[in-house]
Every structure is written in structure tokens, then in C-alpha cells.
Structure 1
Amino acid sequence: MKVAGIIVEYNPLHNGHLLHIHKTREQTGCNAVIAVMSGGFTQRGEPAAFSKWARAEMALRSGCDLVVELPSVYVVQPAEWFAYGAVSLLNATGIVDQLVFGSEAGSLSDLSALADLLTDETPQFRLQLQAYLQQGLSYPAALSQAAGSAGYTAPETAALLQEPNNTLGLQYLIALRRLNSSIIPGTIQREQSHYHDLQPVHEQIASATAIRKLLMEDPKQAAAYMPEEVMLIIAREIESGRGPVHVNALWQPLLQILSTSRPDQLAGYYDMNEGLEYRLLSKLTSLDDCSVTGLLASLKTKRYTYARLQRLIAHLLLGHRRAELTEESLQQGPGYLRVLGFTENGRQLLKLMKKTSTLPVITRPADTDHPHMEADIRATVMQASAFASQDIKQLYSDYYRAPVRV
């Protein structure tokens, strides 16, 4: 059996994602597609608009055969660790032949050349990169400058890395190299919409950002940009009070954490660096807009990007501690393969994986006592606490829900 892997968030799944799945099958000639998907929170540090169970069902009804969860400690991270965790899971299955990702470049050549440079980066290159980051440059800008110093033309690199899917794709390639994986990479060009577009610019394809905005304002307007079966799932979830979730719904738990913590306690959270705990508490006491987005806007500077600050807020909400998420622990990779859902074809994949996987394949928390699972349960609880409808079984759905079967 020929198996392709994809790395997704589906927040929510839309026509552009459907095109990616179809083109992955077409380009690879695979018999099955395995998706590694984020859970209760996303890479940008936001709570997912809908539960991981609903989004896993969207994936399965749109052409994926098996969905596994990327642990939240790898999800709420810059591209490097997000990619490393996801690629580690695909590699651990022992059955994935190819990894296919979307990119603005639509070609592997430039990304591969840069991946070769960065996989074996020298201490000097690392120092240069850190120096540019300390100047307040974004990661893509700092990377392009450091790469330029190493002989890779900076303007070309900068243009390449200004696009978020290119940046993620680059990190997938680096992760494959660092894991010495036999998985063959491939890319499909992103079409019609930009990752950050706030408004649809095409009659059938829009960014997930634009679609989430529509879902908050008038869900019916989003239907043109989503597969019919996905829209039915979303309608069901909305009717049941399970979304769409906005980060501002988590203002009260965030306020409680901040208002009951001393600076030294906040300093123990992951990625709380450079005295940010003092800046957080200072801004909190003089806030005009009492909301998560209001706090983020007050904190943002050239040095502290919105993405970094939003992930920091997620680490606070999810209880991610610096002592637990060291670089050494992250380099070890995820400790298991958590199955969120599968089709009949996916069930056959699971049978194969039990023979080939280098990690335990689990379907419920009781199958492991790994700290990543504890963190994922917290992520599920926190995301579900933002639902309009509250139910203890929704909050602790990790204990009550079996994998989705389609």
C-alpha cells in the first residue's frame, strides 16, 4: 500500500484544503492519506474554532483515511518545532512514503537548497541568526539576512520566506533531514487565497482566516468556500453550541492566571523571556480593551511579534512550563501516535502500523501516562470551556470519545 502524509490544522477545512487532498492523491498515486492534525489549539496560539473530533470528521469525509493528533506542546510553537513534531509522527508510523505540503513556491528546488544550508548550520550561522532576532527582526527576515551572510542571496531568501507556507515547508524539509527519514517530500502550489487574507478574493476558495471571520458574522456566507459535508458538520456543531470559538472567550481564565500570579511564577512559563512577565502585568493594570486581543495589541512591539505573544498567551492558558519543555525534551519527539479518527481504509492502516510503528499507537488516554497526553487533555478542556454549551463530557471528551469512524 502506498501512503501519503499531510500536516494540517483544518481550522476549519475548506475548498483549498480539499484541493490539497485531491492533488496529493493525484500527484503521489497513493492508496491512502494520513493526516497529522493539531488538537484543541493551533500553531498560531489560538483555540481551534471547532473541536478536534469535529475537525477529524471533516478530514475523513474529505478524503483522508486516518487522522492522528499532533501533541499541543509541538502545536503551539514556531514553525521549526511544529514541523519537527509532525514529521516525527509521520516518520514513526513506518508506512508513510511521501509527505506533500502546500507552498506558495510550488517547487522544491529553492526550498531544498535552503534546507541543505540550515540542516547543518554552523555555530557562526546560529550566532548571526540570533543577532538578527535580537535586533527585533521577524524569524523569516532574520533567517534571510543570516542566509545572505552565508552566501545565499538575501533578497531571494527574503522573498521566499515572506510566505508562511514556504516557511513551514522549509521546516518540514529540515525535519526530514534531521530525522534521516526515507519519506519523500513533495509540494503543491497554494492557489487563489493568501494565508492571512481577511476577506475572500475568489468565488470558491478563501483563507481559513477569512472563513473564520465569516463564521463568526454569518455562517451561511461561508458555505461557498467549504465542502458541503464539512458545512453540515459545522452547522451541527454551531447548533449544539460547540463553536465557532474565538480567543476572546478565554479572557476570564487568562485574567485569573495573570491576576493571581507573581512575576516569578509567570517567569516559569514556557517562552516567558526577557522580562515579559513584568510587561504583561504592567499592561494588564492599564488596559482599555479588556480582552485577549486587547491585551495582545497593547503588548505588541517590533521586538515582540503578534504570533509570538499569542503563543505565549496559549502557553499560559495550557500550563506549559519552561522546565518541562526544554529543547532536549522536544528533540526526543512525540511519545505516541494518538488516533483521532479513521475510515475503513484507515482501519487497515492501523493494522499495518501496529507492526511497523516505532511509537505506541493509542486511541484513549488510558493507553499512556505520557506528559504530552496530560497537556493535550488540558488543551481540550480549555478549548471546550469556550463553547456556548457546557457539558463535563465535552470538557473531558478525551476520556469519553472514541476515535471518529467514517
Structure 2
Amino acid sequence: MRIYKVGGAVRDRLLGIPVTDIDWVVVGATTEEMLAKGFRPVGADFPVFLHPKSGEEYALARTERKSGRGYGGFTFHASPEVTLEEDLIRRDLTINAMAEDDQQNLTDPYHGQRDLEARLLRHVSPAFAEDPLRVLRVARFAARYAALGFTVAPETLELMRQLSESGELEALTPERSWKEISRALMEDQPQVFIEVLRACGALKVLMPEVDALFGVPQPPAHHPEIDTGAHTLSVLQQAALYKQPLTVRWACLLHDLGKGLTPEEEWPRHIAHEFKGLKLIKAVNERFKAPRDCQELAMLVGEYHTHGHRALELKPSTLLELLQSFDVYRRPQRFEEFIAACEMDARGREGLEERSYPQADYLRGAATAARTVAVQPLLEKGFKGPELGEAIKRERLKALKAYKEQV
């Protein structure tokens, strides 16, 4: 029995960046031997075990063979005869197909270290094209390591293009796709994820609504970058720069989908794109079964982001309607995330990244003013039921009028 550290732990150590997860592969062992040493089995499809003390995952060396469509369409074979090299060749990228023993002696049969130095994301073998999930994974790695100068090797991008055209991407489950998408959006340069998906044709398969934004012009006076797709990528980049949570980043990606529906003869204006885009945002949300908080914020940002930009001009009654839509009294955090998405949208414009966004503090102040309305005095006056609701609304409107006059 020989045990090796493999994959990301080896890669990141060689890159000199913190190692977060450690994967181990065990060569020359049987399931019975692992159980006898106290390892606990966890893998339903192939032999993976948890270490009795550390809880880390140890997998028996295995080979795999394509047996069906999609990410799960594989038959695995694990036995003591499977070599380390045979186990490594089934991995996605050369930089993930390295192993080291407890003395840090490197096993690198597919030149991963060379590709690390060349800053290349390159597939290990033609079997790469058998797993559609790898299209998303490579795009995610491109986003993660973009700051270090990594790019996707042309021949790997070509395989990703073939996968995108094969219909295999449609076989991915929403859960697996969302796992990759959400992780990619939380990288330091999530816009690179979208760029790589677009470069290999996967974006028009997975998110045709986002792909449709590229080449759609906007008014240069408001959007010096002009192209709606380019603007969306810039907004996503700003969201990462400002360390926004996943909910905000997802909303930033989808906020302008309605502009992809504008007839060419109306370009570069996009009248009512906020409302037109809602059905598209809903479709993308449902396609990937995004978590409810991501779905809700994306819909609200899509509908109201231009309200955010015009906050200083809004009538008190419109401002009150906006606050009610977000339920700022019970869910203040969601409104805060809306403000953040609006600010990222404003900053995601060429040459305007540093411009101040006074709307943010104005909206926060408005929410505070509306929240300060006390319900108890109204109850003491005898209001109840629907009448109480109307009385609260009147008092909040009065508070917002006073707030607007003060600012």
C-alpha cells in the first residue's frame, strides 16, 4: 500500500499559494485492507474512505470508462493493480495530475509542472472530452488563476468547443452546474469564467440569455463601454473587487438580461428592459436551481436597479413602494445587497469605476427613516387590521417626505 498526496494540494504548493483541501490516493490496496485500518467508506460509486483520525478523503487508485451521457456516465474500476500513472491520466488538467509522496518526491507523468511554469491550463488526455463538467471546471480554474497569468491551452479550448457543440452539456444536472457556477462567481476574477465559457461556445448553451448581451449597444453617454456584454463582465469584476457575496454577484450577472430582447431598430435605447428581463432571469434561476436568496435578489435587482440609480429623484411615494417591495422592515440585509448590486452596476462602466455613488447612502437613510415609524402610538389610537396598515403607510410616507426635504 502506497499513499500519495494528489491534485490541488500538489498544484497549489508548487505555486506557492495556501493549500486548503488535501486529496489522497492509495495505490496497491483493497477495500478490505482500508476497512481493516479503520477507514470509513463514503463513496457510493467508487471506493473513497475517510481517515479514522483526520477525516480527510482517501480514494483507491482507479480507472474509468465512458458508459453513458453526462457527468455521471462513467464506469469505475478500482483494484490493487491500478498504477498511480493510470489514476492520474483520468484527471482533467495536467496541473491537477501530479502526485507526491510523504517525502515530497514528485510524480509528474503528464508534465503538469511544466504547464504550471508556462501558466497553461491543458488537458491530460483526449478522455477530457468525455466529461462535460470539465468545461465548467476549466473555466473556473481560468477565473481562479487569471491573476497569475494562466490561460487555457488552444487545444484544450478546442476540446471544450467540441463538447459544447456535442449536446453533452445539456446532460449536466442543475445541481452540478450550479456548484461550479457558484464557486466560479466567488473567484477573484469571475468575469474570466464567463469569457472562457463564451470563447468555447458553452455560454450560448448554458446561459443563452447572457450570451445574447454581447454585441448589443447601449447609449454611450451612460455607458462609455457601449457593449452590454462587456458592461456585464465589468459589473461582475467590480462585485469581486468589492468582495460582494454570491447573491450580489449572481444578481450582477443577470441584471441586464432584458437588453438582449430589445429590437435592433430601438438600439441603443432599452425601454422597459427591467420588466422585459424578468422572465429571462426567472428562467436562468430555475434552470440551475439557484438558492432562493440568489433567485429573489436577482429578480428584485433586475426590476428595480434603475430605481436605485434614480434614487435622489424618486418621489417619496415611489421610494416607499421600493422599500415595501424589499420588505426592508423584516429583511434589511436584502435591501443592503440591492444597494450593493446597484453600486456595482454604476461602477461597471468604462472610466467610471471610481465615481462616487451617493444613491447608496441616500437609500440607506430612506430605509432608516421609514423604519423609525413607531407602530405602538397608532395602536393606542385604535387603529387595527387594514386601517392600521394604511395608517403605518401614511406615517412612513410622511417620514420619507421629511427625510427628502432634509437631504
Q: Fold-level match, TM-score > 0.5?
A: no
Q: Highest Rg: 1 or 2?
A: 2
Length-normalised TM-score, structure 1: 0.24
Larger relative contact order (CA 8 Å, sep ≥ 6): 1
